[in-house]
Chains A and B, each alone.
Chain A
């Protein structure tokens, strides 16, 4: 056993020492696999970033009340007459003045071009109440001030301010009719609200000729109040509403797109991995055939077949791992934190999000590299082991 290990070490060391003299072919493995891993990690990081942005929105003890059967805020309507019942339902936390911490909101879309572009994109306009900073304490104004109720004033999320034309404090934009003045910019911990425009519910509803809000958001006393709160509202015959905790709602709104991007990522990576595998096979077969004399000499000296196989596979895997780490690093350097904005088909609105190259994605990339290296080395190694010693020596 000890001698087998010594043999493997000796042959592997020999192989790896000769890599620099075969730099070109070895680079085939490294670069081919770096490409696979880079693309895989980048696409998965995109899906992960999108998912994280939506699922980090909201708190488990906060609920969203939608019309029963509505998939999302855009398709929901809550009648004005239903709002007081919801706000008075048991389980909602009260503020210092004894008022429920809840807000009726209206979710609408408007069109604004991206910075430097002319084509309009769907941007969320959320009409909300003056107490919104109490309802969503994670929101902080970073520039300017809150909108005043009843006024054509808006405050915009940091992401929206960066992404869309004209959203700077002091500027006016057309939201529903002209002249909506940007009075502030807020941040919200990088979640989906940062892609939105916020204004006063009454102001936007009158400008849009709209009679009813879309939803009510409420802070519960605790997460355990969710069920009683829900039961109270769903048992009331005058209400047909769905009650969802915020994390559940936002996670469901990211499912389609993040699954799609994940699927695309794995599909492309599998196809590319097959391509890289052929490249690796080429290189390793060439490596074996140019070294046939050396290998035969070792065998003649009494080295076993197993150390030869193992050493060649180690060489392939080491090269593959270098490629994998390289690809993962490139993708980390290029894409981690890279912000893009796309249309979320499930809410019909633009969401800006950052790519997130997480440690687990990096590890996944390197594992893929190792697997490609394993198969790329296996067959050439077997051929090397089966090579008749005498013939190989004579041919040299």
Chain B
């Protein structure tokens, strides 16, 4: 610690250069923080999924519809605690660009199976009372400026009403919040009542999209899943039951090469950065050859000089990384409405600091070795 003033002084030896170098690194870590936050947004769906929850959907595709008759059968499977169901409605509010998920659900069981979404008791009661009511996520309500009591018009894309009309209307009776602050944004969908939906739609009566199953004991999840699928094996509508976590992870994998893409971008920007920073460090050591020789003359050992140069490099990279990740935290705050779940979490910070240290070692390696091997007589006489 006693060398800190010395480090600090050498770091700012040429102020403009240090500032420019630092800014390049800041920018790289801003990018790093944001792209990692996107990664978090992608993987958060996986993290949040309860280990005690299964999803039962069509064997060949998630988009197959299943008979409502499966409901009672699944409930009777040993180890099943609660069963609910949902259907993909599609639909658009005003335009396709306003997209948010809309699902007819079972009003009596949905929130038992999804306790991570919170709705006030009186609002749930109103939802159970009013057949054509709906509940929306807090974020959507704010985005579109809806109020409780509003009628929300939705244009059907998949499910027309009897008579062929696409115009559905729902009364807003409640608003959903995510129970956990880190899950904010996940609540941005709309639910309405399946019983009303089933009665009013033009076709597809007596079907649902998928079943959500809460098991009594998470350890039995896989066994329960297998017994459910066995029930419907060789029936016209076979099922596939998996944990929410496996389902979400598989869905995200469908985006395939996106994570690879993010890794490549970070790789490319860091590579450019190593060149920029490494060059600055070399320049700085080259200029300081006489000073380093003096340090050695007054008794600094080779290792000490090596440590000093590396520490300077680490200081530069760490300061810049902290500023960069802080900036990305602010920026992701602004971008959150466009990509819910975007978050610079502790994990991102750890990664960033680790990367900063790695970067410091990499760019400091050659200059510090050079400083260590410095021959006092040559260095001093060179000037």
Q: Does B302 contact A (CB under 8 A)?
A: no
A268 in contact with B265 (CB, 8 Å): yes
A212 to chain B minimum Cβ distance, whole angstroms, is 8
In Å, the complex CA distance between A268 and B328 comes to: 13
B236 in contact with A209 (CB, 8 Å): yes
Q: Does A13 contact B (CB under 8 A)?
A: no
Q: Does A89 contact B (CB under 8 A)?
A: no
Q: Does B10 contact A (CB under 8 A)?
A: no
A32 in contact with B276 (CB, 8 Å): yes
Q: Does B378 contact A (CB under 8 A)?
A: no
**Which one of A68, A276, A343 lies within 8 Å of B254 (CB-CB)?**
A343
Taking CB atoms, residues of chain A closer than 8 Å to B218 are none
B157 in contact with A271 (CB, 8 Å): no
- CB-defined interface of B267-285 with A at 8 Å, one 1/0 digit per residue? 0110111011001101100
Known interface pairs A282-B280, A342-B256; A74-B20 also in contact (CB < 8 Å): no
Taking CB atoms, residues of chain A closer than 8 Å to B280 are 282
Known interface pairs A75-B158, A342-B257; A272-B269 also in contact (CB < 8 Å): yes
Taking CB atoms, residues of chain B closer than 8 Å to A286 are 17, 283
Q: Does A146 contact B (CB under 8 A)?
A: no
List residues of B (109-143) whose CB comes within 8 Å of A's CBs. none
Q: Does B222 contact A (CB under 8 A)?
A: no
Q: Does A140 contact B (CB under 8 A)?
A: no
List residues of A (66-103) whose CB comes within 8 Å of B's CBs. 67-72, 74-75, 77
Taking CB atoms, residues of chain B closer than 8 Å to A31 are 271-272, 275-276
Q: Does B155 contact A (CB under 8 A)?
A: yes
Q: Does B376 contact A (CB under 8 A)?
A: no
Closest residue of A by beta carbon distance from B156: A69
B316 to chain A minimum Cβ distance, whole angstroms, is 13
Q: Does A121 contact B (CB under 8 A)?
A: yes
Taking CB atoms, residues of chain A closer than 8 Å to B237 are 209
A348 in contact with B255 (CB, 8 Å): no
A276 in contact with B257 (CB, 8 Å): no
**Which one of A25, A68, A119, A348 lies within 8 Å of B283 (CB-CB)?**
A25
A340 in contact with B21 (CB, 8 Å): no
B130 to chain A minimum Cβ distance, whole angstroms, is 25
Q: Does B144 contact A (CB under 8 A)?
A: no
List residues of A (55-75) whose CB comes within 8 Å of B's CBs. 67-72, 74-75
Q: Does B253 contact A (CB under 8 A)?
A: yes
A333 to chain B minimum Cβ distance, whole angstroms, is 14
Taking CB atoms, residues of chain B closer than 8 Å to A32 are 24, 272, 275-276
Taking CB atoms, residues of chain B closer than 8 Å to A342 are 254-258
Q: Does B64 contact A (CB under 8 A)?
A: yes
Q: Does A341 contact B (CB under 8 A)?
A: yes
Q: Does A108 contact B (CB under 8 A)?
A: yes
A119 in contact with B20 (CB, 8 Å): no
In Å, the complex CA distance between A276 and B24 comes to: 7
A110 in contact with B253 (CB, 8 Å): no
Taking CB atoms, residues of chain A closer than 8 Å to B63 are 74, 108-109, 122, 348
In Å, the complex CA distance between A46 and B265 comes to: 13
A340 in contact with B256 (CB, 8 Å): yes
A278 in contact with B61 (CB, 8 Å): no
B254 in contact with A39 (CB, 8 Å): no
B21 in contact with A69 (CB, 8 Å): no
Q: Does B90 contact A (CB under 8 A)?
A: yes
Q: Does A172 contact B (CB under 8 A)?
A: no
Taking CB atoms, residues of chain A closer than 8 Å to B254 are 119, 121-122, 342-343, 350
A115 to chain B minimum Cβ distance, whole angstroms, is 12
List residues of B (227-278) whose CB comes within 8 Å of A's CBs. 236-237, 249-250, 253-258, 261, 264-265, 268-269, 271-273, 275-276
A278 in contact with B16 (CB, 8 Å): no
Q: How many residues of A contact B (CB 8 A)?
A: 59
- CB-defined interface of A133-145 with B at 8 Å, one 1/0 digit per residue? 0000000000000
Contact segment of B25-33, B172-180, B187-195:
B25-33
A275 in contact with B272 (CB, 8 Å): yes
| Chain B interface size, under 10 / 10 to 19 / 20 to 34 / 35 or more | 35 or more
**Which one of A39, A240, A279 lies within 8 Å of B24 (CB-CB)?**
A279
Closest residue of A by beta carbon distance from B60: A110
**Which one of B61, B156, B255 lies within 8 Å of A110 (CB-CB)?**
B61
- CB-defined interface of A262-275 with B at 8 Å, one 1/0 digit per residue? 00000010011011
Taking CB atoms, residues of chain B closer than 8 Å to A24 are 279, 282-283
In Å, the complex CA distance between A240 and B268 comes to: 52
Taking CB atoms, residues of chain A closer than 8 Å to B315 are none
B250 in contact with A276 (CB, 8 Å): no
List residues of A (1-60) whose CB comes within 8 Å of B's CBs. 24-25, 27-28, 31-32, 34-36, 38-39, 42-43, 46
Q: Does A248 contact B (CB under 8 A)?
A: no
A69 in contact with B157 (CB, 8 Å): yes
A111 in contact with B23 (CB, 8 Å): no
In Å, the complex CA distance between A71 and B89 comes to: 12
Q: Which one of A25, A271, A285, A340 has the highest number of Cβ atoms from chain B below 10 Å of its Cβ?
A: A271
Q: Does B184 contact A (CB under 8 A)?
A: no
Q: Does A176 contact B (CB under 8 A)?
A: yes
Closest residue of B by beta carbon distance from A109: B61
In Å, the complex CA distance between A36 and B60 comes to: 43
Q: Does A208 contact B (CB under 8 A)?
A: yes
Taking CB atoms, residues of chain A closer than 8 Å to B203 are 77, 212
Q: Does A393 contact B (CB under 8 A)?
A: no
Q: Does A189 contact B (CB under 8 A)?
A: no
Known interface pairs A281-B20, A282-B20, A343-B255; A208-B157 also in contact (CB < 8 Å): no
B244 to chain A minimum Cβ distance, whole angstroms, is 15
B61 in contact with A27 (CB, 8 Å): no
Sorted from nearest, which 5 A-B pairs have the closest CB atoms?
A: A35-B272, A275-B27, A279-B276, A69-B166, A75-B158
In the assembled complex, 5 residue pairs joining A and B whose CB atoms fall closer than 8 Å, in A order, are A42-B264, A70-B157, A286-B283, A341-B257, A342-B254
Instruction: Give me the interface of A with B, judged by CB distance under 8 Å.
Output: 24-25, 27-28, 31-32, 34-36, 38-39, 42-43, 46, 67-72, 74-75, 77, 108-111, 114, 117, 119-122, 174-176, 208-209, 212, 240, 268, 271-272, 274-276, 278-279, 281-283, 285-286, 340-343, 348, 350
Given A71-B96, A111-B61, A121-B253, 13 additional A-B pairs, CB 8 A: A31-B275, A35-B272, A42-B264, A108-B63, A111-B62, A208-B64, A209-B236, A240-B164, A275-B269, A282-B276, A286-B17, A340-B257, A342-B255
